[in-house]
A and B are shown apart, each in its own frame.
Chain A
Amino acid sequence: MTSHEQIARSAAGAPAAEARDVSKRYGATVALHSAGIAVRAGETHALVGRNGAGKSTLVSILTGLQRPDGGEIRFDGAPAPALADRDAWRQRVACVYQKSTIIPTLTVAENLFLNRQSGRGLIDWRGLRRRAADLLAGYGVDIDPAALAGSLTVEQRQLVEIARALSFGARFIILDEPTAQLDAAAIDRLFDRMRELQSAGVTFLFISHHLQEVYEVCQRVTVLRDARHILTEPVEALSRDELVAAMTGETGRALAEGVARPPVPATAPVVLDVRGLRLAGHYDGVDLTVRAGEMVGLIGSGSSGKVALAETIAGLRRADAGTVTIAGTTPKPGQVPAALAAGLGYLPQDRHREGLVPLLSVAENATMPIADRLGPAGIIAPARQRTTAERMIRAYDIKTDGPHQPVGDLSGGNAQKVVLARALANDPRALVMVSPTAGVDVRSKASLLGAIGAAAAGGTGVLVVSDELDDLRSCDRVLVMFHGEVIRDVPRGWTDAELVSAVEGVEQP
């Protein structure tokens, strides 16, 4: 069907995709309770909700991967095909998941035409690459079809997935947190592309934790909370506070404004001192200081070198030149235990990869760096571990069945709280955090930021490395990195536009 026909149909009123009174339960857990959504043809529709609100379940039902216990799914007014008919589903709806469905060991061309490389006979590899090149060129995607998919960037992989989805004839595409792993420039390019496709008649369902993006790219928004549909409104009709309130069931303004904090006296001792740090290909000549009780933000695009800098401070990387001094001592560079012993707390970027051991319990994960204090001679006394963990669970408001629960079962926000509790477990003098609220819902975000603020108030010097403006609002000052150098030192009270233009390397007029 052409896009014109599709628009004509939407005028007739049938939504491109619709879920009516859909329910789904897994054992005792109700994942969806007669929830619904109607996505109009040609619009970009946002689906927001806290972790565990039922978004993922709704997506898997809309894409035909799960059968709802009750309710029905319709596309363009017609009932959804049978669950076994994957081809029919693929012609109606496609989803770009957070977890990539690209096969890294195969070429881009083969990924695009997976399981349809040929009819019955031999695969014509040359022809396949040509078809792939035509398909990619048709969407203005400049990627070599012969390249291995594993060598692509996250952004390129998403484009390949979107192109593949469109090549099946689907005109309704679900993007599940597409921006989570992209830097600001790549997000802008993604949004440009979405607008282009939208004007060509493609309908999007857009899932994101970044409410700003909802306002930027979406026309209507549906909020889910506790497995129920809360509201569906045009985005202009809904203020940011109302949206947050719909998601959390309460009003919360602290996020948008930051927490008021007393100024840090100039006499406070310097707990983190970075002098002339250089790592080829990442950053060059970086100086920065963090005083006890001070919160310093560090922002920059994906290529600015900010994460590499944080990793160097933590001892994960070894700088080519320069020194890192933590609370007056200079730990041996490139060694994590040395940095920790010097009084550093570190919260890594990817909590799944570096932060947590998913199969171990909350208690074990949280007490890992202070295991030596839980008993003599390397013995970990279970009772002491449990009481310590219970104290942490209360202090950081971690939602868990108890200290024994495996961390892998926690929601994203609560898992991140465990990582934070662990980073703070040995009362560090300086705390370095990378993207502390990535992939975390609004309410957990507020309580995480609250815990970070409390740590600073207790005299810890905090360095928050993040792209999220909300993470940086409480900071005393924000350093802006650009192409490996710190180019600005912005005191508290900045505006979003001021900071973002500095990150992009655009000077304010």
Chain B
Amino acid sequence: MTGTETIAKPPTTGGTRPGGGRLPLARLRDFALVPAIILLVVVGALIDPVFLSAANITNVLQQQTELALLVLAEAIILIAGKFDLSLESTIGLAPALAVALVIPAASNGLGTELPAGLAIVLCLLTGLAIGAFNGLLILRFKLSAFIVTLGMLIVLRGLQIGITGGQNLFDIPPSVLYLGSAVWLGVPASIWISGTLFVVGIVALGYFRHGRSVYAIGGNTDAARAAGIRTDRVVWAVLMIGGLLAALAGLLMTGRLGSVAAAQGDGMIFTVFAAAVIGGISLDGGKGTLFGALCGVIVLGLINNILTLAGVSAQWIQAIYGAIILVALILARLTSGKAQD
């Protein structure tokens, strides 16, 4: 493979250098939310001194861990150019099914009474299976990811209600409760887990060939295929990882709350998408970083916390929270200067 050095350097060149700066705008955008986070922290501190206490900060972060894992999953799926709306049902069904398989029928279980030690494995396998089934419909049968996962959202929620008889599950084995309630080195285990997974995700998507292929597929699937990337296989893997992360988020939520609610995760998907988009993930695929998505999660968590501390009445908090998310989307649109199509 030589021949390169035999080619003379021509006098003229093809056009001028675009941009030119060492740190292009695209990379600066990853940090676009950092000022917003600082601003929110200052506002929070002014509203209530409790805001900056270690207990409150830990509380805010722990409450966001489940959302963070869903956003991590959704961000990777969006970067690959696909959708998964069913994550918000997986977060409920996966722990509900696992718990129902191990607890006695008297506690609303299925009566199989499998060993309690299997519960965590069953939960994660359920998530993987849901992701794999989504992949089957989207990639093999070429169905639209949007409508497939919208259907799955409803089916999975229905399955959970069917399995549990619409009841909340309270008789949770301690192994299932552990991850969501344990404290490691003075910090809740769920924060360690989410933080570690984000670091793993950032490194994998930023510094590994397979991670970069997710961006390539989302940016231009044909070009990725032409470059030798097995596009279907990668997308399938991404969807399965998404299901796995949602199941893990379900475990954390179950451990934190001490039960599996029949409506666990219901309505979370809007917040998930909002955090991802505010964090700079493009719904078109191929654009955005996991660090940005994490910032989006933190922004929403801070806003939620500040609203609570400011004493906004519980009846109004949902409307105000939703409106603030819309405003944040508008601001993100204005600062990025690009249409969020």
Interface residues of A (CB under 8 A from B): 1-3, 86-87, 90-91, 99-106, 110, 114-118, 122-123, 125, 137-144, 146-148, 151-153, 155-156, 159, 166, 169, 171, 186, 189, 192-193, 196-197, 200-202
Query: How far apart are the CA atoms of A189 and B9 in the complex, in Å?
Result: 13
- Check if A155 sits within 8 Å of B226, measured CB to CB: no
Chain B positions within 8 Å of A123 at CB level: 206-209, 212
Interface residues of B (CB under 8 A from A): 1-10, 12-20, 22, 24, 26, 203, 206-209, 212-213, 215-216, 218-220, 222-224, 226-229, 282, 286-287
Query: How far apart are the CA atoms of A495 and B208 in the complex, in Å?
Result: 58
Query: Which listed residue (A116, A122, A140) contacts B9, Cβ 8 A?
Result: A140
**CB pairs A–B below 8 angstroms (29 shown):** A3-B2, A90-B228, A91-B1, A102-B220, A103-B219, A105-B218, A105-B287, A114-B216, A114-B223, A114-B224, A114-B227, A114-B229, A115-B229, A122-B207, A122-B208, A139-B4, A140-B10, A142-B14, A142-B17, A143-B15, A144-B17, A144-B20, A146-B22, A146-B24, A147-B17, A152-B18, A156-B14, A156-B15, A196-B10
- Check if B12 sits within 8 Å of A192, measured CB to CB: yes
Nearest A residue to B215 via CB reads A106
Most buried by A among B14, B218, B226: B14
Chain B positions within 8 Å of A171 at CB level: 3
Query: How far apart are the CA atoms of A201 and B2 in the complex, in Å?
Result: 11
| CB proximity of B88 to chain A, nearest CB, Å | 27
Query: How far apart are the CA atoms of A152 and B287 in the complex, in Å?
Result: 17
Chain B positions within 8 Å of A147 at CB level: 17-19, 24
Query: Which listed residue (B13, B20, B228, B286) contacts A103, Cβ 8 A?
Result: B286
Given contacts A117-B212, A142-B13, contact A101 B6 (CB under 8 A): no
Given contacts A101-B226, A169-B1, A197-B7, contact A140 B18 (CB under 8 A): no
Most buried by B among A87, A106, A141, A152: A106
- Check if B14 sits within 8 Å of A189, measured CB to CB: yes
| CB proximity of B132 to chain A, nearest CB, Å | 24
Chain A positions within 8 Å of B9 at CB level: 137, 140
Query: How far apart are the CA atoms of A2 and B206 in the complex, in Å?
Result: 36
Most buried by A among B8, B12, B20: B12
- Check if A144 sits within 8 Å of B219, measured CB to CB: no
Query: How far apart are the CA atoms of A152 and B220 in the complex, in Å?
Result: 16
Given contacts A103-B286, A155-B15, contact A200 B212 (CB under 8 A): no
Nearest B residue to A90 via CB reads B228
- Check if A143 sits within 8 Å of B14, measured CB to CB: yes
Query: How far apart are the CA atoms of A148 and B24 in the complex, in Å?
Result: 9
Besides A103-B220, A105-B282, 16 new A-B residue pairs in contact (Cβ under 8 A), listed by A number? A90-B228, A103-B215, A103-B224, A105-B218, A105-B286, A106-B219, A114-B212, A114-B223, A117-B209, A123-B206, A140-B7, A143-B17, A143-B18, A144-B18, A147-B17, A196-B7
- Check if B208 sits within 8 Å of A196, measured CB to CB: no
| CB proximity of A156 to chain B, nearest CB, Å | 5
Query: How far apart are the CA atoms of A200 and B6 in the complex, in Å?
Result: 6
Query: How far apart are the CA atoms of A151 and B19 in the complex, in Å?
Result: 8
- Check if A138 sits within 8 Å of B286, measured CB to CB: no
Chain B positions within 8 Å of A110 at CB level: 212
Query: How far apart are the CA atoms of A202 and B6 in the complex, in Å?
Result: 11
Query: How far apart are the CA atoms of A162 and B7 in the complex, in Å?
Result: 14
Query: How far apart are the CA atoms of A146 and B24 in the complex, in Å?
Result: 8
Chain A positions within 8 Å of B227 at CB level: 101, 114-115
Chain A positions within 8 Å of B13 at CB level: 140-142
Given contacts A144-B20, A200-B6, contact A101 B220 (CB under 8 A): yes
Query: How far apart are the CA atoms of A90 and B228 in the complex, in Å?
Result: 9
Query: Which listed residue (B5, B220, B229) contacts A104, Cβ 8 A?
Result: B220
Chain A positions within 8 Å of B228 at CB level: 86-87, 90, 115
Query: How far apart are the CA atoms of A138 and B213 in the complex, in Å?
Result: 26
Most buried by B among A103, A139, A192, A193: A103
Query: How far apart are the CA atoms of A143 and B16 in the complex, in Å?
Result: 7
- Check if A103 sits within 8 Å of B223, measured CB to CB: yes
Given contacts A101-B220, A105-B287, A142-B13, contact A202 B208 (CB under 8 A): no
Query: How far apart are the CA atoms of A166 and B1 in the complex, in Å?
Result: 9
Query: Which listed residue (B4, B20, B215) contacts A166, Cβ 8 A?
Result: B4
